[in-house]
Structure 1
């Protein structure tokens, strides 16, 4: 960063901007001191004189030196412009962050008002407010500040909305952090840079607007004077002495240019181009009003009562979203258990509902989602109910989530060590010193070299694999009983992928931590997990031991397994594919959702959806298929891009 700033400062743009800003600041500070007396000296014998050696820009109607008055006016002009910008920034921040703080309904009203105000030209708004607040310095400051607030508010709203959608903000909400604290701690630091740039550029615009109001007689009033007031006085004698108007006009131009060039330089230096628990979703306990599904729900899966060692128990989980033609249900009737120390993998094509299932379990689905379940327990805690402080503390330490892209999960504005330490201070009540030491220890536990030095670095200074390890280390700040890993190795190369998977396996083995691994890679899941759940069209179609994937009984599972090339794959033959496309969650057909692509499908498959039941021919398994285990015709093909090889 210092090198970047030095390069910017040495560039032509940076040099000009710095020189102009220093000159404007010096004039504002020293102008009244050095030229105050000359600016007020009346010489009735030299009224409206033209430029001369004694008066470079001539004199006004009282014989006062115009250039001296322009130099003295620098302070008032700059100070008033900065006050107006401060008002615009403060009001813009309040309006721009209101939708985030107030929630969706009240936020929409604020956003609508801001968008309506932005539709009017800024000068028109300034003139309106100037009439409302009256002529004079105070009225002009309020007018220009409030006129600039809507545009700044819309910028703030756009930036806040982008950061609010990031995973680390969702995690803070689930952890019970209030909206105001999330805004101050996580959102505003991540949008500060573009706001500073726009505020700097806005100072130039405010300076021009102030000069315009004073020129129109609505701003600074006599005997005070700013550049706009001097421009107004000079325009009256334009034909007698053009310099009387050109001098204050040039000052306005150069000062406005200084602020704008500084803003552009800051943008270049920063690399900017252009400019209680908030429950995730609506939880519905069966028995209340439920949204209609887009397709009939599958019959309840056959899952026994949870055993004593069950960490996560899920029964009849369904997730729906509002759609143009009614609710869309991407997850339908999912039931499973995860026991202590067990690794359960969820596999399937993109859009089958595996990631959404994990997000629903961890309460990280979108606000407009509707989540239903007859049972959703983590260590005996009902995740459907409103969480108490004790429940949130337990969840913050017993549940860890590892996302696909750690760069979107880590806060780029805070150091790695501070982000890990926040877990311990918030959920475990540790002091900052103990939490910082714990963070270094956890980074060392996930095999990050030189953890003390790395804890003081920012996420962008970590490689992809190290960021993923840091995310795992964050989960280990407490004593997790369950780690939910959603595609944790997708963005990594195969070498780093192996290291991350080995790390997760070591964590499981050392502390008997349960693992729920979501992946589209059947080979990885088969190697890492004890049990595999295969999902298609929002429901589980097969549940089987990972070691028995080669003997899968559902045609879809067999297709996924066959899609993984191995050392025995015939290189002269084309890679296998599955005909057709995955089912659209908004248009799930009657019967078995896989029937249109299945070589074993018959009339019963197309008309009657098979329930997920225990397989009588394979103990310990569940399968949802009317033709489970039947041989596939030789002509079957499987889509090779469904699964990646390890």
Structure 2
């Protein structure tokens, strides 16, 4: 952070702007002290005197020194401008954060009001509010502050929306953390720098706007004076003494340029874009769903399940609004996960596997709808209204590992602090005890020198270490279920194996249930006990992992397995592929969704959607032609020539 701020003054422009801003602030503090008395001295013998060695900018209509009055007016001009920009930022933050805090419906009304206000030029809004609040310094501060608020509100909405989409924010909400606390703890620290940059530039604009109102007679009133008021008085004598108007005008110009150039320099030094389309400096990301913050510790006991079933899902559906009506991304998914069991979910992109995981962990976006006949974790209904007991249970019994370790944690907080909050909020530990627990959990997930690592920030961890630390956060409590959504996607193959071995070791050591989501059927077959194959939002086959390569009965499952090459793959033949493209959830057909890509499909497949029924034991399959042999793949003449040439 210190290095980034030091870059602000390393460029000639940044250094010059910084010197000017510091000089203006010093003048605002010292001007009235050094020249305040002399600036108010009336000399009737020198009324409207021209510039001279005694009065460098001449005198006004009472014989007062204009230059001294300009120097003294710096304090009031700067103070009023800063008050106006503070008001604009505060109101803008409240309006910009309102959609996040109030929810989707009420937030839409606030967003619409902000959009309407932004459409009006700021000067028109300032004039309108100045008339409403009346002439004077107080009315001008209110007018300029409120006129500048819509722009900051729009900026804040954009920044907050970007941060709110991150998985660790959703994880905090899943654990029952209040929206206001999430806003102050996780959102605002990550958008602070772009807001500071734009507030700095806004201060210069507020200074110019304030001078304009005072010049029009709507700002500071006599006997007080700021640069705009001095400019107003000097215009009346511009043909007698031009310096009377040019001197305060030059002061306004220099101050406005100084603040704007300083803001631009800060933006370049910190790598922050200026305007509504800013990007935040720190990229944020998901954390374990056992988010470190939750409701206060509750004395009630977490209910224990009556059997070894950890997760029980029946008829799960996830629906989102679409242009042509509701779109079902998950359609009637049913399964259960027992203690110590590892269940894998595989399928192509868009098959609904990640959306199923988000529904289980209550991370579906606000505009999505989750319905189920049963959605229980350890006997607790996840669709029921929030209670302190349920939030505590979720915070300690459920962990989720997301796929991108580059943004696994809040980048503004130390790793140890983020892990420790799980214990302080859910288990009633002191800060020292929670820190010791964090060191122990980091050690458990094989992070070396954990006592030192807890004091480091996420960017100081490698990708594999961040992923292991994220798993460690889930272990701060006593999780009964870990949901891992493609946890190895962004890692190299060596680290992938380490993360998978770690998940396996945790499952075996603590009898933890695991739901592993992956595109890689080989990984799922090696790690899991049971595999569910999803296509177009529903489960098409559920079978033991040991049978995946040899006893899969659905054509789609067999196609996924065959598409993965191994050491026995015939190099003289083309690699197996699945023809066509996955079905869009918005255009799901009446019959089997896989029919257009299936070599066994017939008229019945296109007319009737096969139910998921038990085939043998715990093997379930949804297919009218389950287990039938697939026709051989025939190579075209062009493909044969290509293979032979190789």
TM-score by length of 2: 0.91
TM-superposed deviation, 1:271: 2.1
After TM superposition, the structure 1 = structure 2 runs for residues 50-61 of structure 1, keeping only pairs within 5 Å, are 50-61=50-61
| 1:630 paired to 2:624 | no
TM-superposed deviation, 1:2: 2.7
Hey, what's the Cα distance between the residues in 1 that align with 2:541 and 2:476? 35
Report the secondary structure of 1:615's partner residue: strand
Hey, what's the Cα distance between the residues in 2 that align with 1:2 and 1:82? 25
TM-superposed deviation, 1:407: 4.1
TM-superposed deviation, 1:273: 2.2
Hey, what's the Cα distance between the residues in 2 that align with 1:144 and 1:477? 50
After TM superposition, the structure 1 = structure 2 runs for residues 405-424 of structure 1, keeping only pairs within 5 Å, are 405-424=404-423
Cα pair distance change 1:561/1:307, threshold 3 Å: farther
Hey, what's the Cα distance between the residues in 2 that align with 1:389 and 1:14? 51
After TM superposition, the structure 1 = structure 2 runs for residues 532-543 of structure 1, keeping only pairs within 5 Å, are 532-543=531-542
Hey, what's the Cα distance between the residues in 2 that align with 1:54 and 1:556? 94
After TM superposition, the structure 1 = structure 2 runs for residues 329-340 of structure 1, keeping only pairs within 5 Å, are 329-340=328-339
For 1:126, the equivalent position in structure 2 comes to 126
For 1:644, the equivalent position in structure 2 comes to none
TM-superposed deviation, 1:185: 1.3
TM-superposed deviation, 1:13: 2.0
User: For the Cα contact (< 8 Å) 2:197–2:274, is it kept in 1?
Assistant: no
User: For the Cα contact (< 8 Å) 1:168–1:408, is it kept in 2?
Assistant: no
Report the secondary structure of 1:550's partner residue: coil
Hey, what's the Cα distance between the residues in 1 that align with 2:308 and 2:112? 52
Moved more, 520-529 or 2-11: 2-11
Hey, what's the Cα distance between the residues in 2 that align with 1:69 and 1:384? 68
TM-superposed deviation, 1:23: 0.8
Hey, what's the Cα distance between the residues in 2 that align with 1:615 and 1:274? 61
Report the secondary structure of 1:223's partner residue: coil
Hey, what's the Cα distance between the residues in 1 that align with 2:569 and 2:528? 24
User: For the Cα contact (< 8 Å) 2:481–2:513, is it kept in 1?
Assistant: yes
For 1:71, the equivalent position in structure 2 comes to 71
Hey, what's the Cα distance between the residues in 2 that align with 1:371 and 1:265? 48
After TM superposition, the structure 1 = structure 2 runs for residues 16-165 of structure 1, keeping only pairs within 5 Å, are 16-165=16-165
Hey, what's the Cα distance between the residues in 2 that align with 1:13 and 1:335? 63
Hey, what's the Cα distance between the residues in 1 that align with 2:385 and 2:103? 18
TM-superposed deviation, 1:566: 1.0
TM-superposed deviation, 1:565: 0.9
User: For the Cα contact (< 8 Å) 2:344–2:524, is it kept in 1?
Assistant: yes
TM-superposed deviation, 1:506: 1.0
Hey, what's the Cα distance between the residues in 2 that align with 1:571 and 1:591? 37
Report the secondary structure of 1:239's partner residue: coil
TM-superposed deviation, 1:636: 6.9
TM-superposed deviation, 1:391: 1.6
TM-superposed deviation, 1:409: 4.4
For 2:12, the equivalent position in structure 1 comes to 12
User: For the Cα contact (< 8 Å) 1:166–1:409, is it kept in 2?
Assistant: no
For 1:640, the equivalent position in structure 2 comes to none
TM-superposed deviation, 1:553: 1.3
For 1:300, the equivalent position in structure 2 comes to none
For 1:248, the equivalent position in structure 2 comes to 248
TM-superposed deviation, 1:540: 0.9
For 1:448, the equivalent position in structure 2 comes to 447
Report the secondary structure of 1:218's partner residue: coil
For 1:472, the equivalent position in structure 2 comes to 471
Report the secondary structure of 1:401's partner residue: strand
User: For the Cα contact (< 8 Å) 2:408–2:466, is it kept in 1?
Assistant: no
Report the secondary structure of 1:600's partner residue: coil
| 1:509 paired to 2:508 | yes
Hey, what's the Cα distance between the residues in 1 that align with 2:271 and 2:385? 43
Structure 2 stretches lacking a partner, 5+ long: 276-288, 290-304, 636-646
User: For the Cα contact (< 8 Å) 1:344–1:532, is it kept in 2?
Assistant: yes
For 2:298, the equivalent position in structure 1 comes to none
Hey, what's the Cα distance between the residues in 2 that align with 1:636 and 1:70? 90
TM-score by length of 1: 0.91
User: For the Cα contact (< 8 Å) 1:541–1:612, is it kept in 2?
Assistant: yes
Report the secondary structure of 2:534's partner residue: strand
For 1:295, the equivalent position in structure 2 comes to none
For 1:292, the equivalent position in structure 2 comes to none
Deviation per CA, 1:443-499: give whole Å up to 9, x if none: 111111222222122222222211111110110010001100001111111111111
TM-superposed deviation, 1:335: 1.1
Cα pair distance change 1:575/1:383, threshold 3 Å: same
For 1:488, the equivalent position in structure 2 comes to 487
The number of residue pairs the alignment matches comes to 606
Q: Root-mean-square deviation (CA), in Å? A: 1.7
For 2:569, the equivalent position in structure 1 comes to 569
TM-superposed deviation, 1:307: 9.0
TM-superposed deviation, 1:308: 2.6
Deviation per CA, 1:226-274: give whole Å up to 9, x if none: 1011111111121222211111111111111221122223223322123
Report the secondary structure of 2:548's partner residue: helix
Deviation per CA, 1:116-159: give whole Å up to 9, x if none: 11111111111111111111111111111111111111111221
User: For the Cα contact (< 8 Å) 2:442–2:472, is it kept in 1?
Assistant: yes
Cα pair distance change 1:387/1:233, threshold 3 Å: closer
TM-superposed deviation, 1:572: 3.5
